[in-house]
Homo-oligomer: A and B are copies of this chain.
Amino acid sequence: MTRKDPIAEAAATSSSVALGGNAERTRSHNRRVVLETVRQHGRLGRSDIAALTRLTAQAVSNIVVELVAEGLLAERGRRRTARGQPPVDFEVNADGGMTAGMEIGADRITTVLVDIAGGLRAQRTTTLPDASPPAVQALAALELAAARRAPGLPKRLLGCGVVMPGPFGVEGMSSIGDTVLPGWANLDAAALMTEALGCAVTVENDATAAAVGERLYGRGRDRRNFCLVYFGAGLGLGIIIDGQPYRGAYGNAGEIGHVRVVPGGRACPCGGHGCLERYASANALAEMLHDSGREAAYEDVARLADTRDPVVDRWIAEAATLLGPVVALLENLFDPETIVLGGTLPDVVMDGLVAAMQPLPLSVSSRSDRSVTRLQRGATGRLTAALGAAALPLLDTIAPKIDRVAPPEPIARAAGR
C-alpha cells in the first residue's frame, strides 16, 4: 500500500495546479474584471458595468466605491439618456498611478512613464556607454529617477517593465549568438533590476512586450487573439492568446526569426542559413543600407524611405516577398484576429511593407466577411517596446486571469515511506 507522497511528487514534476477560490479572491477577481471592463470601453456607468460583467448593480457599486477611493477610477459626470435617472460615468483615472517601461539596448536606454489610462507622461533616451550589469543598474536607476522628476506625474509607481535582449534563464537557441548583452548571460535580470530600481520589475523580450503594449494601448485594445511581428535587431513574434501574452512552456514561444526561408541563403549567427531575420529585420535593412554607403540611423531610414530610396524599396520588396508566406503560416496556425507589425522601423517603412505584401497569400484568414484587416501596422510607433514594457505590470493589475500556481513546498511534511 505504500506510495510516494503526492505533494512531493507534484513539486517534483513542477506541474502547476489550479487554485481554489474564496471570497477574497472573488473580490480581487471582480475588481480586476471591473477595471478591465472600464478600461476596454473607456467610459461606463455602474449599470453598464453590471450588465457587461453579469454582476449585480449592488456588487458593482461597492467595487466602484472602492476603486474610486483608491484613485483607480474617476467619476466623470452624468451621461444624457432618454429616460430615467442618467448614469454616472466612470473612467480609468489617469492620475491614479503609472508604470515605467525601459528598453535596454546594447547602446541606449529608453525610459517611458505611462499612466494607468494609457497616457504617455514622460519619456527619455540616453546612451549606454557600458552594458555590464552594474553600469546598467546604475544608469537605469538614474534614468528612472530623472523621468520621475517630470512635472504633474501621478504619485504611485505601480511597477516597472524592462525589455532587454534575452532570453534569461532559459537555454534557448536564440541565446546562442549575439543577442544577449555581454555579461548578462545566466544572471537573474529581473532580480538585478528590481534591486536597482526599487520597485517590482518584470523582464520580457521585445516582441512580447510590444504585443502587450498593442493589447493595452494600441491595435489590440479590443482584440483577444493576435500576433505581433516585431522588427528589431532580429525578428520576433509576440503572441496574445485570450488577452494574455503566450510565452510557451519554457518562455521561448514566438521564435520566428530563424525560420529558413531561403535555402542556402545568408549565414546566420544561429548556425543556420537563410533565416528569415537575415532578410526581414531592422538589422538586415541597416546592413543593406551600409553596403550601399548610406547612413542607417532611425532618422536616416525614415528620410530615405520618405524619398523612396531604391535601396529601402528593394529591402521592402525582398522582405515582403519572404514575409507574405510567413504571415499566412501564422494565420493558419494561430488563426488570430489580426496580425500587427511593430518595432524599431519608421512608420513609412512599415506601411510600405504592409502594402508590398498585398495581396496576402491564401490562408484560413482569407474570409470575405472580415471586420478587421488581416495585416496592419502597430499604433504605438517607435516606442512600441518601451511602451509594451510599461504595459507589463499593468496587465497583472488589470487583466483578470485564472489563478494558477506552482505546487506547494513539500517541506515539513513527513513523506510516506
Q: Give residues in A with beta carbon < 8 Å to B.
A: 1-3, 6-7, 9-10, 13, 15-23, 25-26, 29-30, 32-34, 36-37, 40-41, 43-45, 48, 51-55, 59, 79-83, 171-174, 222-226, 237, 241-242, 246-256, 258-260, 270-272, 325, 329-330, 332-337, 362-369, 400-402, 404-405, 407-408, 413-417
Contacts and interface: CB of A to CB of B under 8 A. Distances in A.
Given A364-B172, A364-B174, A222 B13 contact: yes
A18 B37 contact: yes
Contact of A414 (B6, B23, B83): B83
27 contacts: A6-B45, A7-B48, A7-B51, A10-B41, A13-B222, A15-B40, A15-B223, A17-B37, A17-B52, A18-B53, A20-B34, A20-B54, A20-B55, A21-B29, A21-B33, A82-B414, A173-B362, A173-B363, A174-B364, A237-B333, A249-B336, A250-B367, A252-B335, A255-B363, A256-B333, A258-B332, A401-B402
Contacts of A223: 15
Contact of A52 (B21, B364, B407): B407
B364 A252 contact: yes
Per CB-CB distance, the 4 closest pairs between chain A and chain B, nearest first, are A248-B335, A20-B55, A252-B364, A253-B335
A144 B18 CA distance: 34
Contacts of A51: 7, 408, 413
B82 A255 contact: no
Contacts of A18: 32-33, 36-37, 53, 400
Contact of A368 (B29, B171, B367, B417): B171
B79 A3 contact: yes
A417 B82 contact: yes
A17 B271 CA distance: 45
A290 to B, nearest CB: 28
Nearest to A416: B81
B20 A23 contact: no
